[in-house]
Amino acid sequence: MDAGAVAAALEDARFDVRQDSRHEDLVDDVRGRAELAEWEPLDQLLAAAAAADREAAVREAQRIAARADELQALRELHALEQAEPRDGDEAARDELTRRADGYVQADVDAWLAHALAAHLGHYRPGRP
């Protein structure tokens, strides 16, 4: 069951409780309130998980942007070849390309290609 289905079930339970409250013979029926009490924590848990996922995505985007800044600075200092490639540098390369409106950073591409061919950094065999 996904978040949308949980939200729909929660809304149905809320609707049922509202409807029950309008009918004298159903006011004391605890089934609707019990069902609502089951769905609310699930909805809150899924909302918290979604918020955590969004926060993680923001942190990852910030990490990629910072690494892209670092690679760009190294490139401008003609020191890129001295840097050791890391996991995620491909994403930083993509960020540099996006910043340049589709222009591929040839120096970064060449650096990554050399690192791959020479098995440097995170391209090193046997690396965990």
Residues ≥6 apart with Cβ < 8 Å to 105: 72, 75, 93, 96, 97
Segment 15-25, tens digit of pLDDT: 988 887 787 77
**CA-closest candidate to residue 123, choices 97, 88, 76, 98:** 88
- pLDDT of 128 over the 70 cut: no
| CA 52 centroid distance within chain | 9
Cα separation, 61 vs 95, whole angstroms: 9
Task: Cite the DSSP H helix spans in the chain.
Answer: 3-21, 30-76, 89-99, 106-118
- pLDDT of 1 over the 90 cut: no
Angle at 43 between CA 39 and CA 49, to 5 degrees: 145
Domain spans of the chain, in order of start: 3-123
Confidence of residue 103 (pLDDT cuts 50, 70, 90): low
